[in-house]
Amino acid sequence: MHFPAHLFIPLTCGFVYVVGALCLKRAADHGAGVWRATFVTNLTMAVGFLPMWLLGGQSHPWTDFWQPALTGLLFTLAQLLIYLAISRGDVSVTTPVMGTKSILVAVIASALFAVKIPVSWWWAAGLCAVAVLLLGWNGGNAASRVGMTIFLATASATT
């Protein structure tokens, strides 16, 4: 059976995300704080994308500056929330909750643009919710930690 190469991109991204989340969790367990992780990550991205200035492009008026500023603020907020979820909770709960972002996009698209969502997507959303519940169930112990993890990850996904 032959699989198209482009199907391996989301699979690779999924693995890289989980490895990154586990590394962040390990760093938090060894004393690296959420603010430090956010700072180092954003500094790395800034240095990595700095050469893009040399490519040029169209200049935009200063009256449009609020759009990238708001996007950057929301991105940083979402990043802080996910780092908090990873450092204070379980990666096994955080990762599936973050996986519901595609479902959130479908819900928002259907609400704002009247796009019809296939029934299979709603089944997928329900299965994700059941998976999160099963991953978080431990006989009643540490329920607040799981609840806080789900809350922070959901807040990050919706930001």
- pLDDT score of 135: 64
- pLDDT score of 42: 85
Which segment, 52-56, 73-77, 108-112, 123-127, is predicted with the most confidence on average?
A: 73-77
Examine residue 72 and state whether it is found in any structural domain, yes or no: no
Integer CA distances (angstroms), 108 to 63, 101, 113, 126, in order: 28, 10, 8, 16
- pLDDT score of 74: 92
Examine residue 32 and state whether it is found in any structural domain, yes or no: yes
27-71 pLDDT tens trace: 888 888 778 888 888 899 889 999 988 888 888 888 999 998 999
pTM of the model: 0.69
Task: Report the domain count for the chain.
Answer: 1
Examine residue 64 and state whether it is found in any structural domain, yes or no: no
- Give the list of residues 6+ apart from residue 106 with CB closer than 8 angstroms, or none: 115, 117, 121, 125
What the block records as the tokens of 95 is: 């990762």
Distance, in Å, from the CA atom of 132 to the CA atom of 31, rounded to the nearest integer, reads: 27
Examine residue 57 and state whether it is found in any structural domain, yes or no: no
Examine residue 60 and state whether it is found in any structural domain, yes or no: no
Examine residue 41 and state whether it is found in any structural domain, yes or no: yes
The pLDDT of residue 20 is above 60: yes
What the block records as the tokens of 45 is: 């991205």
| Domain extent for 96 | 5-49+78-158
Examine residue 69 and state whether it is found in any structural domain, yes or no: no
